[in-house]
Amino acid sequence: MRILVTGGAGFIGSNLVDRLLADGHEVMAVDDLSGGDRDNLVAAARSPRFRLHEMDIREPALIGLVAEWKPEVICHLAAQISVRKSVADPVHDARLNVEGTASVLTAAHSGGTRKVVFASSVAVYGRPAVIPVPGDAAADPRSPYAASKLSAETYLAAFKALHGIDYTTLVLSNVYGPRQSPDGEAGVVAIFTDALLNGAPTVLYGDGAQTRDYIFVDDVVDGFALACGDAGGGRRFNLGTGVETTDRGLHTLVAEAAGAADEPDGAEVRPGDLPAMAVDPAPAFEGLGWRPQTDLATGLKATVDWARTRMAAR
Ligand SMILES: NC(=O)c1ccc[n+]([C@@H]2O[C@H](COP(=O)([O-])OP(=O)(O)OC[C@H]3O[C@@H](n4cnc5c(N)ncnc54)[C@H](O)[C@@H]3O)[C@@H](O)[C@H]2O)c1
């Protein structure tokens, strides 16, 4: 089928593009390269079934592009992805994540798109009372980023009611893997990997007991590929492992994979940091036929190996 991936030059989007091409689909990526990188699409660009449009998803031209190409499915990943940036500039965040989603959905309508698969975030759960967070937990947005992702989710439901465009929302926990940038705040695996391979210091905030739910990018991409079919229509699913890993434990695992000393520096806990997070993925087992396949040590080894190869090539 024809599938459009917004944010297709980014970390998760480019891994998804590769997977969809391997599955035999025709794939178009739309990305303004504000955070993504053409280098992520070097392999994809060799396929005659792939094309990249360098375009902001808010441009009116997106409507004409989608009306003409008529993708059956749109995987919508283009976004402002930083909680801290959303706090510093909520208007910019809303423009990308709310206006951007409305623009993608309007284009989907113009192209007769059957389904939109959307990348939401566990940030929508705020400070959850129960961990792992159940799939039907109430949203409790505590940042402009969480509010804009939640708002985008409601636009999907509105466009389904209005125009019959089906959707699946995938609520992603902490995704890691090859092509994640170490420059942002979110990619702690990428940040530790980059520093430990370069002999640079690493920092743990607080006592290192904060937890997160790390999910390997190939598993996330599996979830998107499954959601491109008929499964999970009109529903939202947590994509995580349900397993909590402490910052301290993660550092040890990355240091082991990198062959580096496990000696992080300490720093004050950052205000607003969540003490714990993990999500219950069980509804996706039944609703999407999805299960995470990659244990953390295996995924970290693949991530460190990729970073090492990239460093050697530069
Ligand atoms: N990485 C994670 O742990 C995680 C967790 C939860 C949710 N998500 C969501 O998954 C999606 C992908 O995240 P990622 O980690 O791959 O980030 P990323 O920054 O690597 O990818 C986002 C891509 O969107 C593109 N983009 C941004 N604004 C755009 C615009 N206006 N028009 C066109 N393209 C634009 C960027 O250039 C980039 O290539 C995002 O929606 C993010 O909110 C990611």
Q: What confidence tens digit (pLDDT) does each residue in 91-138 have?
A: 999 999 999 999 999 999 999 999 999 999 999 999 999 999 999 999
How many angstroms separate the CA atoms of 258 and 255, rounded? 5
Q: Is 145 a catalytic residue?
A: yes
Residue 284 corresponds to which tokens in the numbers above?
A: 């996706």
**Parallel, antiparallel, or unpaired: how do β-strands 50-54 and 245-246 relate?**
unpaired
One of 145, 155, 167, 214 is an active-site residue; which one?
145
How confident is the model at residue 207, as a pLDDT?
Answer: 92
Ligand 1, CB cutoff 6 Å, lining residues: 7, 9-13, 30-36, 56-58, 77-79, 81, 96, 100, 119, 121, 172, 174-175, 186
How many angstroms separate the CA atoms of 223 and 116, rounded? 13
- For 270-300, write each residue's pLDDT tens digit: 877 899 999 999 999 999 999 999 999 999 9
Looking at the chain, how many residues does it have? Answer: 314
Q: Work out which ligand 1 atom sits closest to the CA atom of 120.
A: 7
Q: Are 174 and 212 in contact (CB under 8 A)?
A: yes
How many angstroms separate the CA atoms of 140 and 158, rounded? 20
Question: What average pLDDT is seen over the chain?
Answer: 97
Question: What is the Å distance from ligand 1's center to 263 Cα?
Answer: 31
- For 2-51, write each residue's pLDDT tens digit: 999 999 999 999 999 999 999 999 999 999 999 999 999 999 999 999 99
Hey, what domains does the chain have and what are their CATH numbers?
2-176+214-241+286-292 (3.40.50.720), 188-210+244-278+299-313 (3.90.25.10)
Tell me which of 81, 122, 168, 179 to substitute to probe ligand 1's pocket, judged by most ligand atoms within 8 Å of the beta carbon.
81
Spell out the SS3 assignment of 268-280: CCCCCCCCCCCEC
